[in-house]
Amino acid sequence: MLDPVLLRNQPADLAARLKATRGYDLNVADLLLLETERKQIQVRTQELQNLRNTKSKQIGMLKAKGEDVSAVMAEVAGFGDELKASEARLDVIKQSIDAIASGLPNLPHESVPVGADEHDNVEQHRWGTPRAFDFEVKDHVELGARHGWLDGETAAKLSGARFTVLRGQLARLHRALAQFMLDLHTNDHGYEETNVPLLVSADSMRGTGQLPKFEEDLFKTYLDNTSGSGDFVLTTRPARYLIPTSEVPLTNIVRDEIVDAERLPLRMTAHSMCFRAEAGSAGRDTRGMIRQHQFEKVELVSIAKPEESDAEHERMTRCAETVLEKLGLPYRKVLLCTGDMGFAAQKTYDLEVWLPSQNTYREISSCSNCGDFQARRMQARWRNPATGKPELVHTLNGSGVAVGRALIAVMENYQNADGSITVPEALRGYMGGAEKIA
């Protein structure tokens, strides 16, 4: 959430910045009407509250003297209804302003290029040289199906489209990738391994910005507790959301907390299932494992002091790059433009891995600095030793990396003419020493 001072005192300037960088249209006229009414009603409400307090003291004094209080009681009753109505209207106005504020995207960092979409992103550098094959390249679906390792038909029978069953050595390779990433980030990069819930509350989703804007992309569960059985049944009462990424529970660990300065930066990593409805991706990447309703990811989250968050962002991105380099996967690093960044981000680097079957780079990691945007929604703070006062932290998150897409990249980049797949050296210790799977 943006600083409410900007919304209250500089709505026109804020609207211009959002339009120029994010293409977002803020209705300033409606906002000004709400703000004007809020000020008027708030002043009147405070007047009535003060009057009520004054009269209450007067009633107490009269009673102490044994005098008649009926006239004063009648006066209090006379403005009591107005006070209730003013308080109720003030709540409605504040909720309307909060609804507008919660729908505003983060303002981009000054170093972010202005642009409309992915075509305006700026490449930072490339690592590795794509392999030259002397045989016809197969995509990950063909490679997996050839050995019965990757089975979309059975998954569709079980759950519907955009799910996959993995078997045998490919399932083990998938597991090996996750274990390798966790070990790298905990042993070499100093992240604390954290196991988090896959079901979270609406407050947690609001804290990181998934709600209310992206509700259609989330899977919800409905819990009926009336019978005491705990059975999941369809009711009208939403209970929990399946996480789209472990960024949500990891970041919300500091919700409503004041973190000691000595603990910052707080670095956490988690390997988890992720669930996305992919409501806006109809017809895109329907083949194989590129875009699934259920997938696994190793997530990186940092909670940092504001003055350290830019350096922490560069460090986090470098940690994700190291995963790809140790796996020997060619990739490129891209700075996203204002029109391609996520809702909560103020600056994002994407890492795109080379996929031979598509003859292009595809996203495998996004690393974002959200500034104090999420922290303000969560009221996540740290105590600044210089002032002794609580201040908002900065939150950062990144994929370190998406396990399924890493599996795809390994399969395609390490494929052999006979359909076998060479196991990258970094993974062989997790694969019982195997050099190939076939």
- Catalytic residue at 362? no
Give the single-character DSSP code of 431. G
Question: Cα separation of 96 and 191, whole Å?
Answer: 40
Structure tokens belonging to residue 256:
């409503």
- Catalytic residue at 318? no
How large is the angle between the packed helices 168-183 and 309-326, nearest 10 degrees?
140
Q: Which residues of 305-383 form beta strands (DSSP E)?
A: 331-335, 347-355, 360-369, 381-383
Residue ranges for the known binding site are 245-247, 276-278, 299, 363-366, 399
- Catalytic residue at 315? no
Catalytic position from the list 204, 357, 366, 368: 366
Structure tokens belonging to residue 427:
């993974």
Q: Which residues of 95-177 form beta strands (DSSP E)?
A: 122-127, 150-151, 165-166
Cα dihedral 22, 27, 32, 33 in deg (nearest 10): -160
- 294 in helix, strand or coil? strand
Question: Cα separation of 403 and 260, whole Å?
Answer: 33
Residue ranges for the known binding site for ATP are 276-278, 363-366
Question: Cα separation of 428 and 130, whole Å?
Answer: 22
- Catalytic residue at 175? no
- Catalytic residue at 287? no
Catalytic position from the list 52, 363, 391, 420: 363
Give the single-character DSSP code of 429. G
Residue ranges for the known binding site for L-serine are 245-247, 299, 399
- Helix residue ranges per DSSP H, 217-348: 247-252, 309-326
Structure tokens belonging to residue 118:
């992915």
Catalytic position from the list 206, 267, 276, 376: 276
Question: Cα separation of 345 and 374, whole Å?
Answer: 9
Question: Length of the chain, please?
Answer: 438
Catalytic position from the list 291, 318, 362, 428: 291
Structure tokens belonging to residue 409:
């990249």
Q: Catalytic residues, which ones?
A: 276, 291, 363, 366, 405
